[in-house]
Amino acid sequence: MDQIVIKKLIAFILIFPFILFNLPNLLTAEVVGKGNLMGIIYGKDGTTPVEGAVIQLRNISTGAVYKAKTDKVGTFKIEGMDAGLYSAGIVTEEGSFNVESLIGIKANTTTTISLALKPYIKGEPKKAAVKEKAVEKLKLLPKIAKFFTSPIGLATLVAASGGVVYGIVKLTEKEGEVSPFK
């Protein structure tokens, strides 16, 4: 084989397993830092601020819960939240309300939202079921990453990388010339 091809193959053989072993860590890496959330809650009419409403947010990956109460003008602020996606609910004197979308918090930034209370309407459980399925899919990612950090997962990665390296070596081998003088 050509010397350049051999050097590239050796470099690949050394780097590929390193990448495979670190892939689970890259998938589960979290952004270091905290974010903030501030917002305003409006009543059912969409224009009147709600005083004394309690907003509760739950991180869909870690389960961490944050709460805040609105002031006289309907505003609230939560500081020091972990970065991630949150589901939210609001409790007022009129009852409990769920926020239909997930709220994303980025590290070292302040996210601003405004929410209006929406009464429950029959036929909406279908939307809730779709949201629950999306949340379940997001919860599956850490389980997959856990598998690849377990001994069985690491053995699978080693076997897969060995198979790939063997296949690459076999595909790049040149057939020797047939000569009666060799």
Q: Where are the alpha helices (DSSP H) in 32-175?
A: 125-149, 151-172
86, 59 Cβ separation under 8 angstroms: yes
- The string of pLDDT tens digits covering residues 133-155 is 766 766 666 777 777 778 888 88
Question: CATH says 34-120 is which class?
Answer: mainly beta
Domain positions in the chain are 1-30+124-175, 34-120
Q: Residue 62: is its pLDDT beyond 80?
A: yes
* pLDDT tier for residue 158 given thresholds of 50, 70 and 90: confident
- The string of pLDDT tens digits covering residues 87-119 is 999 999 888 888 888 899 988 899 999 998 876
